[in-house]
Amino acid sequence: MAEQTTPIDPAGPPPGDPAPGIPAPPAAGDRQVIRDALGVGIAVGLSGFAFGATAAGAGLTVGQACALSLLVFTGASQFALVGALAAGGNPFTAAAGAFFLGARNAFYGLRLSQLLALPRAARPLAAHWVIDESSAVALAQRGRRHTRLGFFVTGATLYVLWNVTTLLGALGAEAIGDTGAWGLDAAGPAVFLALLAPMVRTARERVTAAAAVLLGLGLLPVLPGGVPVLVAALAAPAVLWAEGRRRPRPSEESPR
């Protein structure tokens, strides 16, 4: 059989592109991962302004707001905590709601621990950076090298920027006084919804979100602040139970 050849473009490959049949160098893949990680870290990190302003509006000092970002570092839980406090909720109830909301990070950690395979000394730092964004970037990569690179670049960028903007947001809110007069009291819930909205894709998730909203809003007049958020979490098992009830049992299925 005659050997088949591919016509060669006289102009050659574009500048900077590898020749046909030659894989791109590892550095090119690293740069793409770093760009993606920086994009996510910067985009989400800027919402720390809203958290700092919301925390100051809820009555927290600048030091308390910064301590939350430094030590807790999970935006959804932080917004839930200060939101419950702003509504007059009990601090322990508010903390419980934030804890249960942040517990999802433990499930990310179970998966990431296998993919990252970090030395024991690096695990405490990595555990502190296991959040939605760093997990999403890491899980989107192929290969341990890029998984680690995506995780740590996202985590470091977001951690630094989130804490800096928290400080600036809290200082700014403290300087202007009443955050409610400027509408900044709505910044926290707005950012929280913006973070959650892309995660609600399937019909089951939409029904669960709607049920949680109805439970939370319906119970606001009758329960102390912070408690409706905890009760709204019951929407998830309730939807799963209803789905299970609708599915036919094996004995009820028609024989093939």
Residue-wise pLDDT tens digits, 196-240: 677 688 888 888 888 888 888 888 788 776 677 778 878 888 888
25 — pLDDT class (breaks 50, 70, 90): low
pTM of the model: 0.66
Both tokens of residue 53? 């302003």
Mean per-residue pLDDT, 65-89: 86
Q: Which residues contact 87 (CB under 8 A, 6 or more apart)?
A: 225, 226
Contact of 162 with 129, CB cutoff 8 Å: no
Mean per-residue pLDDT over the chain, rounded:
79
Residue 190 has pLDDT above 70, yes or no: no
Please tell me the least confidently modeled range out of 56-65, 196-205, 237-246. Answer: 196-205
Do 56 and 173 touch, CB atoms closer than 8 A? yes
